[in-house]
Each structure stands twice: as C-alpha cells, then as structure tokens.
Amino acid sequence: MKYGVVRFPGSCDETDALLAAERLGEAVLLWHTDRDLSGVDAVIVPGGFSYGDYLRVGAIARFAPIMREVERFAAHGGLVLGICNGFQVLCEAGLLPGALLPNLSLRFVCRQVQLEVQRSRSKWMRDVRPGERLSIPAKHTTGRYWAPEPVLDELEAQGQVALRYAPGSNFNGSSRDIAGVCNHAGNVLGLMPHPEHAVDVLTGSTDGLKVLTP
C-alpha cells in the first residue's frame, strides 16, 4: 500500500499524515504543482490552511494542478481521504457533497471527540464495525458540515454518512451530527477530525489508524 500525501503551501498536517501513513505502508509527499500522483494507491489531502484559505476555506486549493490528477484518480475509483482542510477542499472540488461552515461558536476549538462509525459505503475504515466508537482529536474553526435537507436525506438513505459525532461531541454544530461523508462510490471520504493525530498510545488513542486503513 503506497499513500501519497498532498502538500499545498499552507498545509500544516502533511508531515503527521505522512508519518501516520508510514505505520501502515509506504508514503510519499506530493507537491501541489505535481502533475502525476507517483503511482500511489491512495491519496490523503491533509489539514492546514491551503493557500492561506484566502477567499473561502479550500476554495483556491481546488484549482491546484495536483487536484486535477486527484479528481481523475477519484473518478477511476482511486482512494482519496480528505482530513479537515482536505475535507473542505474535496467539498469545494465537488468530489464530496455539502460544505463546511464556521463553527456555531465562531471559535477555534481543539479537543478530543468521540465518533460513531455508521453503516456506510466507505472503502476507508475497512476494519471498523458500524456502532464502533473512535476517539480522535478535532481542531478547526470552520467545521460545521452543512448540506441542503434533501441532500442530507439522500446521503443517509445511500449510506454516505460514514461518521457522526457521538452525543456531546458535536461542538461545531454540524447538521445531523455528521463528522464524515463519502461519495456514492465509497472511494472518497472526508472528515473534520484528524485521524493522523491518533496513531500512538503516547497521545491517547490509536483509533486514527483504523480510519486510515482502506
């Protein structure tokens, strides 16, 4: 298994994502101007503030040369995981439904959250069972998942809601407690919490590895 971790100017979690992926396989960094994916089996779009998040979170990164390759890769069933800013980028790129809005509190929040694994089409999180709880940190200002009500109904009906915040963990005000969604094919997953920060007992949880395992 070879992971590619995209690095945009302003990314800040790509090194942790790389180190986390190296616990599961081979991992390489991909630069935002790259025009090929170096033959990776899975792409991680990491957290941070791509291109300064100017204009709107994820809005500029979506037009990076590497994203054209990521879109092509995803269209052919390639595994893509967007974490935090990566999730925002994938939503802006139209690879995932919905959008991320400012937290209801308008504050940056950094805390451990409990996630409930849903029965879903996701091709990531191979070894988890629906109902299982994962303990993973979240840290963001713009993480309130939103989509129009009919879209939310459709996502639930189609098994595209992959993760929900457990009771008491939805600090950002996400619609229907949604923490992570996948596309209809299941190969593209996005979530606001950071699995790459939960890969070692030293920092309290290794549940992140379960998310990173396709």
Partner 1 sequence: MTRVRVLIRPKTGILDPAGQAVERALPVLGFEPARNVHVGRLVELDVDDPSRVPEMCERLLANPLIEDYEIVPAS
Active-site residue list: 84, 194, 196
Token code pair at residue 119: 């029965």
Among 26, 75, 104, 133, binds partner 1 (CB under 8 A): 104
Q: Quick one: 3 or 165, whose CB is closer to partner 1?
A: 165
Token code pair at residue 66: 């590497």
102 touches partner 1 (CB under 8 A): yes
**Nearest CA among 18, 27, 22 for reference residue 83:** 18
Tell the smallest beta-carbon distance from residue 137 to partner 1 (Å): 23
Site mask for partner 1 (CB under 8 A), range 105-134, x = bound: xx----------------------------
Q: Quick one: 49 or 146, whose CB is closer to partner 1?
A: 146
Stretch that binds partner 1, among 67-75, 92-100, 127-135, 181-189 (CB under 8 A): 92-100
Strand partners, 29: 5
**Nearest CA among 85, 92, 96 for reference residue 124:** 96
Stretch that binds partner 1, among 33-41, 94-102, 123-131, 206-214 (CB under 8 A): 94-102
Residues 145 and 178: their CA atoms lie apart, in Å, by 7
98 touches partner 1 (CB under 8 A): yes
Classify residue 100 as exposed, middle or buried by CB count within 10 Å of its CB (0-12, 13-18, 19+).
Answer: buried
75 touches partner 1 (CB under 8 A): no
Count other Cβ atoms within 10 Å, centred on residue 101: 16
Cβ partners under 8 Å of residue 22, min gap 6: none
Residues within the interface to partner 1 (CB under 8 A): 55-56, 59, 63, 92, 98-99, 101-106, 146-148, 173
